[in-house]
Amino acid sequence: MTYKLLLLPGDGIGPEIMNEVREILGFMDQAGLASFELEEDLVGGAAYDAHGAAISEEAMAKAHAADAVLFGAVGGPKWDRVPYDVRPEAGLLRLRKELDLFANLRPAICYPALADSSSLKREVVEGLDILILRELTGGTYFGQPKEIVDLGNGQKRGIDTQVYDTYEIERIGRVAFELARTRRNKVTSMEKRNVMKSGVLWNEVMTDLHRRDYADVELEHMLADAGAMQLVRWPKQFDVIVTDNLFGDILSDVAAMLTGSLGMLPSASLGAPDPVSGKRKALYEPVHGTAPDIAGKGMANPIAMIASLAMCLRYSFGLTDLAARLEAAIANALESGLRTADIMSPGMTQVGTNGMGAAVLTEF
Amino acid sequence: MTYKLLLLPGDGIGPEIMNEVREILGFMDQAGLASFELEEDLVGGAAYDAHGAAISEEAMAKAHAADAVLFGAVGGPKWDRVPYDVRPEAGLLRLRKELDLFANLRPAICYPALADSSSLKREVVEGLDILILRELTGGTYFGQPKEIVDLGNGQKRGIDTQVYDTYEIERIGRVAFELARTRRNKVTSMEKRNVMKSGVLWNEVMTDLHRRDYADVELEHMLADAGAMQLVRWPKQFDVIVTDNLFGDILSDVAAMLTGSLGMLPSASLGAPDPVSGKRKALYEPVHGTAPDIAGKGMANPIAMIASLAMCLRYSFGLTDLAARLEAAIANALESGLRTADIMSPGMTQVGTNGMGAAVLTEF
Ligand SMILES: CC(C)[C@H](C(=O)O)[C@@H](O)C(=O)O
Ligand SMILES: CC(C)[C@H](C(=O)O)[C@@H](O)C(=O)O
């Protein structure tokens, strides 16, 4: 069995951290642990520079053909002024939408070795292990109308539309309950039903689904603003948080920052399993961005990218043991005292991107 | 000069904390420091129970006639199932919209006496003094269409619309820059221009306004998700944060929670000054909610409500000295070691709502 992977390193530190993933894939292949067929292409600003679009049709075709996509990061000041439709982010959004990757899993895990690098008190974040499940193909991100209208008299009107249909809420809800069953069996659903009609529907659909099919899982509803507060106050109260695309964008970033390990956090964006083959589309990417300030310096932390590969091994290929082994290798590399600059602290040994990638491979 | 105040205590702990404000107003009146004419009415669940609406026409008329409104809090589990249009929050939203209170000032201040009660490390929040300026009458909260459509086949569609016109962004931008000039002269504007057209317009209008009229103030643009992260990572980097209604809802709650003093934080919602009289509509309310679990027990912390009165004295009546005196009295009551249950810590003396209100008055 050979797994077809498309690598889309993107911009900024993307290519550097993707290199470390390529090393690990090469090692697994050579050691006979798994066999990969790699494709690679441009996305984001890099694709714009080459083709005038944030992703080419050819790269999209490769994404459709792949078993999974490994994505670095896109964007940077260089492309701040390019037209909206071809801005770097458009490449990522097109991939999410066309591959129908509606379920975005963002684990917020606090590595023991890094608990002190959080801005929160150690006792608040030590041992933290929560999962933000973000709806990724609906809501304000994709609803129509989405436009700027010229009203004359120097006035313009900016419009975005939040749209959610029952089935969209239900399918992400199912993923939430299923994941909770493999964890601590609790789902917190966040919306603003006191202000938004989509929030009213969201709440209603979650409640029904729970009653019908998942009564064994604890379901809690929380307003998204209160939820943001609770995340900062005492995040360990949560297990799985399920929320819409825009709230999920903000809340998963808050959760990521709690752990003090932004450069460490992976994410998985999954489609629905094919009813016949059981296969599903998937894209894996770090939660962090392109870090233009350190791009090209060999300083970036590759761990989030490597941990994204681990999620890929688990969720796309069912290689659970290999995924766990890779995750343990990351934890051990940290325990051994190695740190990239972003997580450096007194008494530790600073290494670069390559150094950290090599250390993970050594511990593997 | 007599100031006309409308008190709307609302639900839950609202009436209890409003009592303490009434005491302070009475004292100021008797001591000849200022003269107040008080009206009072129902809002939220209390108004629904009495009139079947979240605010009566009569109460709205009083709000229009008043120089300022002091608002407690609305909502609670009792009204979780009432129809959307008459839910408790509708009363507050109607007040904001009809009085055109577009500028919501939410200071996030860390009281020195409470720095340790934050979930964040002391050094991250000690001395924190930032201001979240939230647009309050536009965006997803009020845009049309806002509805749930039955699509048949058991499918519904929930729709909300984010709408911002140039003038709405410009007027909140002006308030941001003016406030920054009285503080540390820095404005951070947050939106999601990489995903939302309203964010593109927001960014454009802020940039133009800055160039035209406020080039002396530092302007920084930040994506709202990155901004949420930065708030958690190092909040002291900010001075004034200006953002839209929905992002402001979430981000101001995150900022409030950073301070560890949710029960302490006031807010002001201001309209535009009348071009002739210079007067403007205003509503002042604590950032916290109705705390149904402790309502009626005399335990609630009245400080956020009292601090809202201080903002009222400052922003509506220009009674700057009196406002500062009241704020100092709050700080001194805390320094003297008194704490309500929500901020209690070892070695301090626990008091109830009345006890804290009386202590502030003693220090006044
Ligand atoms: C790059 C951007 C379009 C994206 C988003 O807003 O979804 C990012 O912030 C994320 O969270 O994956
Ligand atoms: C009560 C609710 C409608 C309100 C809001 O969402 O604006 C509250 O959360 C706030 O922040 O003032």
pLDDT digits (tens, 9 = 90+) for B13-52: 999 999 999 999 999 999 999 999 999 999 999 999 999 9
For ligand 2, atom 11, the nearest C-alpha belongs to: B249
Ligand 1 geometric centre to CA of B285 (Å): 34
Nearest to B257 by CA among A309, A229, A328: A229
Q: Is A253 noted as a catalytic residue in this protein? A: yes
Question: Which residue, judged by its Cα, is nearest atom 7 of ligand 1?
Answer: A249
Confidence grade of residue B278 (pLDDT, cut at 50, 70, 90)? confident
CA of A249 to the centre of ligand 1 (A): 7
Q: Using the Cα atoms of residue A249, residue A250, residue A256 and residue A260 in order, give the sign of their dihedral.
A: positive
Select which of B48, B192, B244, B281 is catalytic.
B192
CB contact under 8 Å between B166 and A154, yes or no, is: yes
Calculate mean pLDDT across residues B321-325: 98
For range B126-155, the mean pLDDT: 97
Distance between CA atoms of residues B244 and B246, nearest Å: 6
Residue A112 pLDDT > 90, yes or no? no
As annotated, the binding site of A for Mg(2+) includes 225, 249, 253
Instruction: Say yes or no for a CB contact (<8 Å) between B158 and A246.
Output: no
CB pairs under 8 A between A and B: 186
Whether the CB of A58 sits within 6 Å of ligand 2: no
Would the annotation count B86 as a binding residue? yes
**Taking 90 as the threshold, does the pLDDT of residue B115 lie above it?**
no
Q: Can you tell me which atom of ligand 2 is nearest the CA of B252?
A: 11
CA–centroid distance, A195 to ligand 2, in Å, is 8
Chain B positions in Cβ-Cβ contact with residue A120 (cut-off 8 Å): 119-121, 232
pLDDT of residue A124: 97
pLDDT at B283: 98
Residue type, B119: S
Q: Is the pLDDT of residue B261 over 90?
A: no
- Within 10 angstroms of residue A82's Cβ, the number of other Cβ atoms is 16
Please determine, for residue B260, whether its predicted confidence score (pLDDT) is greater than 90. no
- 3-state secondary structure (DSSP) of residue B106: strand
Ligand nearest to the CA of A140: 1
Q: What is the pLDDT of residue A263?
A: 87
The enclosing H or E element of A108 equals: strand A103-109
Residue A132 has pLDDT above 90, yes or no: yes
pLDDT > 90: percent of chain A? 95
B253 is catalytic: yes
- Give CA–CA dist B255/B190, Å, rounded: 14
**The predicted structure's pLDDT at residue A113:** 84
Does the beta carbon of B229 lie inside 6 Å of ligand 1? no
- Is residue A249 annotated as part of the catalytic site, yes or no? yes
Chain-wide mean pLDDT for chain A?
97
Distance CA A251, CA A242 (A): 10
Per the annotation, the verdict on A225 as an active-site residue is yes
Rg, chain B, Cα only: 20
Decide: A194 in ligand 2 pocket, CB within 6 A: yes
Cβ–Cβ of B225/A75 closer than 8 Å? no
Measured in whole angstroms, the distance separating CA B86 from the mean position of its chain's CA atoms is: 22
Cα→Cα distances B14→A277, B19, B31, B287, Å: 58, 9, 26, 12
Tokens of B359: 């202590």
Write down the number of H helices and E strands in chain B: 12, 14
Q: Please indicate whether residue B225, judged by its CB atom, sits closer than 6 Å to ligand 1.
A: yes
Residues of B in contact with A224 (CB under 8 A): 249-250
Q: How far is the CA of A142 from the centre of ligand 2 (A)?
A: 25
Half-sphere exposure of B23 (CA within 13 A, CB side): 21
Contacts of A349 (CB under 8 A, 6+ apart): A337, A338, A339
Residues B211-258: tens digit of each pLDDT: 999 999 999 999 999 999 999 999 999 999 999 999 999 999 999 999
Structure confidence by residue, pLDDT tens digits, B139-149: 999 999 999 99
The two tokens of residue A194 are: 């006191």
Are B162 and A157 inside 8 Å of each other by CB?
no
pLDDT at B250: 98
Which pLDDT score, from 0 to 100, does residue A65 have? 97
Instruction: Give the mean pLDDT of A342-357.
Output: 96
Subunit contact A141:B195, Cβ cutoff 8 A: yes
pLDDT digits (tens, 9 = 90+) for B169-203: 999 999 999 999 999 999 999 999 999 999 999 99
Q: Computed over its alpha carbons, how large is the radius of gyration of chain A?
A: 20
Ligand 1, atom 11: closest residue by C-alpha: A249
Name the percent of chain B in helix, strand, coil, to the closest 5: 45, 25, 30
Q: For residues B90 and B48, is the Cβ–Cβ distance under 8 A?
A: no
- Residue A111: the pLDDT is 86
Check if A225 has its Cβ closer than 6 Å to any atom of ligand 2: yes
pLDDT on residue A219: 98
pLDDT of B263 higher than 90: no
- Residue A162 CB neighbour total at 10 angstroms: 26
Q: Which of A92, A253, A257, A262 to mutate to test the pocket of ligand 1 (most atoms within 8 A of CB)?
A: A92
Average pLDDT over residues A23-41: 98
pLDDT tens, position by position, A161-171 = 999 999 999 99
Tell how far the Cα of B174 is from the centroid of ligand 2, in angstroms: 23
Helices and strands in chain A: count of H runs, count of E runs: 12, 14
pLDDT band at residue A96, thresholds of 50, 70 and 90?
A: very high
Name the token pair of B349: 């003396």
For the segment A264-277, what is each residue's pLDDT rounded down to a tens digit? 999 999 999 988 98
Mean pLDDT of A65-79: 97
For the stretch A263-314, pLDDT in tens is 899 999 999 998 898 889 999 999 999 999 999 999 999 999 999 999 999 9
**B145 marked ligand binding residue:** no
- Region B59-65 average pLDDT: 98
